[in-house]
Amino acid sequence: MSIFKQLTEISRKRGTGYIVLIDPDTRDEKGLISFVEKLNEADVDAIFIGGSLLVDGEFHKCIDIVKEHSTIPVIIFPGSVQQISPKADAILFLSIISGRNPQYLFGDHVIAAPAIYKAGIEPISTGYMLFDSGRTTTAEFITNTKPLPPHKPEIAMAHALAAQFMGMSTVYLEAGSGADNPVPDAVIKAVSSFVDIPVIVGGGIKTPEAAAAKARAGASFIVTGNVLDKFDDPNIIKKFSQAIHWKE
Ligand code: 1GP
């Protein structure tokens, strides 16, 4: 069964799936191994690896280490065409549909497709929708795209439906890593009840309670990233996981 099918099965059974994003620039090897060990015990459904701006260039090493220490599926969340590895299980084949920059709509894809084919990893066609979250995010700046207004659900709904009509497998509602304001629950509810494809939600989700509300609003998957480093609580990942898997 494909990774995408496995994940949609999980979200159907558990209400919502939980995905943790690892930015390869933020941890040294020792820190990464101990973080992955925590993920193994916290009932996390998948790991995203990637970032909009990789300073250290530790992307490949990061995937090697995570694969060596975990059996959780590893999905590349690419910030650029350089972020492709045969060691991963799958890759989000992202089109930034909130923007109108051709490079990120159907430009880099032409360069990446043969490399992904050669790597033999599963592409997951994803309509990536960046939302305005109060201040400029790295993704917005690097991709030179305008984010969607967060208080206009009808605009978000139309974008997501267009993605579905174009045959994309999923849409990703993104406020950006460390966003002050995550994607509002009302937008998640409007989009997820309007389209048939799974809805991934991430960016600035700071507490298990906030994650639970977004899960119940209709998110198929919740993604948390750097926010996990801001807690002293050693059980925080488990708490997110329990809050997100709301059908249990
Ligand atoms: C995943 O970019 C997010 O979509 C991760 O965001 O780092 O704010 O959790 P945080």
pLDDT tens-place string over residues 114-166: 999 999 999 999 999 999 998 898 888 889 999 999 999 999 999 999 999 99
Per-residue confidence (pLDDT) for residue 72, from 0 to 100: 98
- Residue 139 has a pLDDT of 86
How far is residue 72's CA from residue 169's CA, in Å, rounded to a whole number? 21
- With the most atoms of ligand 1 within 8 angstroms of its CB, the residue from 135, 143, 223, 231 to mutate is 223
Q: How many domains in the chain?
A: 1
Q: Which residues, 6 or more positions from 232, have their beta carbon under 8 angstroms from its beta carbon?
A: none
What domain range includes position 39?
3-244
Please count the residues of the chain: 248
**Whether the Cβ atoms of residue 84 and residue 50 lie closer than 8 Å to each other:** no
pLDDT the model gives residue 164: 99
User: Cβ atoms within 10 A of the Cβ of 131, count?
Assistant: 28
Q: How far is the CA of 204 from the centre of ligand 1 (A)?
A: 6
202 lines ligand 1 (CB under 6 A): yes
What is the C-alpha to C-alpha distance for residues 58 and 50, in angstroms, rounded to an integer?
Answer: 10
Residue 53 has pLDDT above 80, yes or no: no
For residue 105, give the CATH number of its domain.
3.20.20.390
Q: Where are the alpha helices (DSSP H) in 144-202?
A: 153-165, 185-194
Check pocket membership of 207 for ligand 1, CB cut-off 6 A: no
Give residue 50 CA to ligand 1 midpoint distance, Å. Answer: 11
| Tens-place pLDDT, residues 76-126 | 999 999 999 999 999 999 999 999 999 999 999 999 999 999 999 999 999
The widest CA-to-CA distance across the chain, in whole angstroms, is 45
**Segment 204-217, tens digit of pLDDT:** 999 999 999 999 99
Q: Is the pLDDT of residue 52 over 80?
A: no
